[in-house]
Amino acid sequence: NIGNPAPFGFEAPDEILQDVIRNLPTAQGYSDSKGLFSARKAVMQYYQQKQVEGVGIEDIYLGNGVSELIVMSMQALLNNGDEVLVPAPDYPLWTAAVALSGGSPVHYLCDEQANWWPDLEDIKAKITPNTKAMVIINPNNPTGAVYSREVLLGMLELARQHNLVVFSDEIYDKILYDDAVHICTASLAPDLLCLTFNGLSKSYRVAGFRSGWIAISGPKHNAQSYIEGIDILANMRLCANVPSQHAIQTALGGYQSINDLILPPGRLLEQRNRTWELLNDIPGVSCVKPMGALYAFPRIDPKVCPIFNDEKFVLDLLLSEKLLVVQGTAFNWPYPDHFRVVTLPRVDELEQAIGRIGNFLKGYRQ
């Protein structure tokens, strides 16, 4: 029930595996706390190609997955009571990292009626003198939304007006469907301090490698104490997993096999299509078509299926049908009317599983 490609038969590109194996004899010691020079250079060039201005080798930090880097970036920034704007729904690690670091997560709503794009008026209403940063998750987990240029520019203008640090989670930037186009947030705001998060886990199917990175862009001269804090935290944990760092240069510079999965007749595209169709065929269930990532976030109409405790709903579904989904409130969605499914299983498995969800919901219908 999580975005882990390996159990569903997705394999890493062979050239990545071979490069890691070939470099194992030289990967037995610590690396620089920011990571291997060759890997950081590849990440730097990746963002230069995306038109992100002013990113140098020293602005790249490699981590044990994006998760570690999210926590480090929050710990270095926040004092007790500082607020961070986080989307609802969100990838819940963002909310947890803010709280763990002494901050207060403030959730801004994403609008299901508008492609699950962030509600700019809601963001504006929730900014206070204590607001320090804004989190953008694009493509979004759990909704699969891919944000337009206009939406991103609107969010960045609010960040500009209130001097907010921007955290942009772009781990699914290569997993796009139909005519969706991903725009790197930092490329639109060279005047804002922006931390862009990405890694190999999803697009290159190596979640177990725990290979992620941050690229820091914008006016870094005004954020030296913050960046020094990130440096200290990076030094404290010595370095990221060294063998998997050797995968980064090969992955970013090699054949992009993810395109074989997201373009017709790619497996990820077909599974996204079938998931969306099957969910919308269930009476009382509606689902906005995901334009990116590996998930769908369907809504259960409370007038058709009155569910007041979505955690109980998913546990009952697990016990009855041996199917595990995640309740919407786990993603900090404020109402018990959504759940998340992953689109990684093969089409025949999805048909069986979603059919069983439909049968289970018959017991809730009025």
pLDDT tens across 202-233, in order?
999 999 999 999 999 999 999 999 999 999 99
Which range marks the domain in which residue 308 is found? 264-363
State the angle between helix axes of 37-49 and 242-253 in degrees (0 to 180), rounded to the nearest 10: 30
On the question of pLDDT at 364 being above 90, the answer is: no
Whether residue 120 is found in the same domain as residue 28: yes
The CA-to-CA distance between both ends of the chain, in Å, stands at: 28
Structural domain contains residue 64? yes
Whether residue 51 is found in the same domain as residue 183: yes
Structural domain contains residue 257? no
Paired tokens of 87: 């989307």
The pTM assigned to this predicted structure is 0.95
Paired tokens of 275: 């998931």
Residue type, 88: A
Structural domain contains residue 332? yes
On the question of pLDDT at 143 being above 70, the answer is: yes
Paired tokens of 103: 């901050």
Please check whether residue 51 is in contact with residue 187, taking contact to mean a CB–CB distance below 8 angstroms.
yes
pLDDT at 93: 97
Chain centre to alpha carbon of residue 127: 23
DSSP labels, 161-187? HTT-EEEEE-TTTT-B-TT-----GGG
N residues, the chain: 366
CB atoms within 10 A of CB 232: 13
pLDDT at 366: 65
Please check whether residue 300 is in contact with residue 284, taking contact to mean a CB–CB distance below 8 angstroms.
yes
Count structural domains, the chain.
Answer: 2
Strand partners, 195: 167, 216
* CATH at residue 53: 3.40.640.10
On the question of pLDDT at 237 being above 70, the answer is: yes
Structural domain contains residue 49? yes
pLDDT at 365: 79
Out of 191, 222, 252, a domain closes at 252
